[in-house]
C-alpha cells in the first residue's frame, strides 16, 4: 500500500515513511491510496468474534500488504489488552465505553497500536526517533504511556498550561524515562502549530528524526476504526445504527468514516462539538473558517483548527453535499453540558464525562428525526479524569479508579516554554 498527501505535492510514501514522517513534506496528511472493502461473510460473522479477532481482520485488510501476519497479530493483541463494552443507557441509546485502557481514554487504542508499529518498523535501526505530540488532554497520556520505556524512541508532549485537568496532566508529567512534558504558554492550537512547524523545518529534521503521535499520524487514527466495527457487532442484529462522535481534531470521526468506506453499515454519523463549533459552521455554510480555540470543560475538544478536516475533505472530494448527507452536527455550551451530565445521571444512573455528554445529547437530538434508528455514542474518557468538574456538577465526591490514583502519586516533571517556535526549536536541538 502507498500513501498520498492530501496536498498532492509530493510522491506517494511507503507505510514506513508515512508513519515515521507523520506529516508529509508539503504539509499534507497521508491517506491510503485505496480503502479496502470487507466481505459480506466478515460482517455476517462479526457478532461471533472477539474484539481482538475483529480488530485483526480489519488491520490485515489495511496493513497486511506491508506487515507480516504474525507481527500484525502481536501489534493488535498487545494494544487491545482491555475490553470495550457497549452499555445501554436508555431506549435506542448506547454508550461505547472506550475508557477501560491503561490511561482510561479512547486514545489508548491508537497510541498503543502506533507504539508497537513504530517499534516494529525501526527495530533494525540505530537512529533515535523523536515523537512529538500536542495534547489538549488525553492524547498526551495515552501516547506517553504507550511509548514509555520503548528503546530507541523519545517522546515530547506539548500541552497548554492550565488547560488540562490535573489528573490528565499527572498522566504524562510524572513518568520520566523517555518521556518529556513541555508546558506551553498558550492554547492547544499553539502546541499543534509548534509540532507542525518542527516537521516542516528541514534543517531541524536533518539533525533529528521527528515523527508525530497525534492523529495526523495515519497509524494513530486508522486503528481507531477497530472499535467502530466492534461497537456495531455488539448492537442488536438488524439495527439501523447511527454513531455520534465527540469531535475535536476529528481523527476519531475520520476513523469511523473509513470504517464506513470499508463496508461497515453505519447509517449516519453525528459530530458533537462544544463551543469550538468550526465543523458545525462548515456543515451549515460550506465554509471552513478556523479560529482560535476557547477553553471549555470538555477540554479534549478545544480545537479551533482541526487537522483531520483535511482528510475528511479529501475523502469526500470536498463535496459539501455528499459530506452533509453522511454527517450532522450539534454544539453545546458549558452550561448545557453540565445540564446533560446531571439530567442523564438523575434519570438513568449513568455517569457521562463532559465529552460523552456532548455526544449523548447530540445523538438524542438526532434520533428525534430518525425514529427507526438506534444510536451509539462514544464515551471517550472516564468521568473521574475530570473529577473537579464532575464533583461540582453532581454535588458529589466521585471515586478515582486505582489506575488514575497511581499516576497522581508521582512527582510532576515538566519544562515551561513560550509559544514561540524559535524557543521550541532550540529546546529540541539541545536534547541528547
Q: Is residue 258 part of a domain?
A: yes
Domain that holds residue 231: 83-104+221-397
Q: Is residue 69 part of a domain?
A: no
Q: Is residue 171 part of a domain?
A: no
Three cell numbers at 175? 513518568
Go through 109-134 and write b for each residue having 16 or more CB atoms within 10 A of its CB, e for each that does not. bbbbbbbbbbbbbbeeeeeebbbbbb
Question: What is the per-residue pLDDT for 246?
Answer: 96
Three cell numbers at 272? 458533537
- Tell me how many domains the chain contains: 1
Q: Is residue 316 part of a domain?
A: yes
The tally of CA atoms less than 13 A away on the side-chain side of residue 182 is 30
pLDDT in tens, 55-67: 999 999 999 999 9
Question: What is the per-residue pLDDT for 149?
Answer: 85
Q: Is residue 332 part of a domain?
A: yes
Q: Is residue 97 part of a domain?
A: yes
Question: What is the per-residue pLDDT for 316?
Answer: 97
d(CA 220, CA 224): 7
Q: Is residue 286 part of a domain?
A: yes
Query: Are 427 and 419 within 8 A, CB to CB?
Result: no
Residues in the chain: 432
Question: What is the per-residue pLDDT for 140?
Answer: 83
Identify the CATH number of the domain in which residue 232 sits: 3.40.50.1100
Q: Is residue 372 part of a domain?
A: yes
Instruction: Dump the DSSP string for 301-331.
Output: G--SS-TTHHHHHHHTTT-HHHHHHHEEEEE
Question: What is the per-residue pLDDT for 403?
Answer: 85
What parts of the chain have a pLDDT lower than 50?
none
Amino acid at each position: 500500500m502507498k500513501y498520498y498527501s492530501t496536498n498532492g505535492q509530493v510522491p506517494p510514501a511507503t507505510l514506513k515513511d508515512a508513519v515515521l514522517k507523520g506529516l508529509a513534506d508539503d504539509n499534507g496528511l497521508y491517506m491510503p491510496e485505496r480503502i479496502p472493502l470487507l466481505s459480506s461473510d466478515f460482517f455476517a460473522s462479526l457478532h461471533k468474534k472477539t474484539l481482538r479477532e475483529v480488530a485483526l481482520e480489519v488491520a490485515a485488510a489495511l496493513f497486511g500488504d506491508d506487515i507480516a501476519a504474525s507481527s500484525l497479530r502481536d501489534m493488535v493483541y498487545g494494544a487491545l489488552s482491555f475490553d470495550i463494552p457497549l452499555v445501554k443507557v436508555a431506549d435506542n441509546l448506547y454508550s461505547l465505553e472506550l475508557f477501560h485502557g491503561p490511561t482510561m481514554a479512547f486514545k489508548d487504542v491508537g497510541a498503543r497500536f502506533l507504539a508497537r508499529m513504530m517499534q516494529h518498523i525501526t527495530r533494525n535501526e540505530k537512529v533515535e526517533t523523536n515523537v512529538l505530540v500536542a495534547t489538549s488532554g488525553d492524547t498526551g497520556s495515552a501516547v506517553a504511556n504507550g511509548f514509555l520505556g520503548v528503546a530507541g524512541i523519545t517522546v515530547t508532549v506539548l500541552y497548554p498550561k492550565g488547560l488540562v485537568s490535573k489528573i490528565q496532566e499527572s498522566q504524562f508529567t510524572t513518568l520520566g524515562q523517555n518521556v518529556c512534558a513541555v508546558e506551553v504558554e498558550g492554547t492547544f492550537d499553539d502546541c499543534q502549530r509548534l509540532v507542525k512547524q518542527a516537521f516542516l523545518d528541514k534543517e531541524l529534521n536533518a539533525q533529528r528524526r521527528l515523527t508525530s503521535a497525534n492523529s495526523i499520524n495515519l497509524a494513530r487514527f486508522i486503528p481507531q476504526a477497530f472499535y467502530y466495527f466492534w461497537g456495531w457487532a455488539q448492537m442488536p442484529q438488524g439495527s439501523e445504527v447511527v454513531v455520534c462522535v465527540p469531535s475535536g481534531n476529528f481523527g476519531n470521526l475520520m476513523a469511523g468514516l473509513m470504517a464506513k468506506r470499508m463496508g461497515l453499515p453505519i447509517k449516519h454519523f453525528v459530530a458533537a462539538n462544544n463551543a469550538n463549533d468550526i465543523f458545525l459552521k462548515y456543515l451549515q455554510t460550506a465554509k471552513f473558517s478556523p479560529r482560535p480555540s476557547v477553553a471549555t470543560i470538555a477540554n479534549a475538544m478545544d480545537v479551533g483548527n482541526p487537522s483531520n478536516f483535511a482528510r475528511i475533505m479529501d475523502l469526500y472530494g470536498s463535496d459539501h453535499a455528499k459530506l452533509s448527507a453522511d454527517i450532522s452536527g450539534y454544539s453545546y455550551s458549558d452550561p448545557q453540558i453540565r445540564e446533560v451530565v446531571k439530567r442523564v445521571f438523575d434519570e438513568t444512573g449513568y455517569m457521562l464525562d463532559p465529552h460523552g455528554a456532548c455526544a449523548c445529547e447530540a445523538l438524542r437530538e438526532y434520533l428525534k428525526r430518525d425514529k427507526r434508528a438506534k444510536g451509539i455514542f462514544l464515551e471517550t474518557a472516564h468521568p473521574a479524569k475530570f473529577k473537579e468538574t464532575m464533583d461540582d456538577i453532581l454535588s458529589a465526591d466521585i471515586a478515582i479508579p486505582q489506575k488514575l490514583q497511581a499516576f497522581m502519586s508521582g512527582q510532576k516533571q515538566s519544562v515551561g516554554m513560550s509559544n514561540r517556535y524559535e524557543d521550541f526549536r532550540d529546546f529540541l536541538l539541545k536534547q541528547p
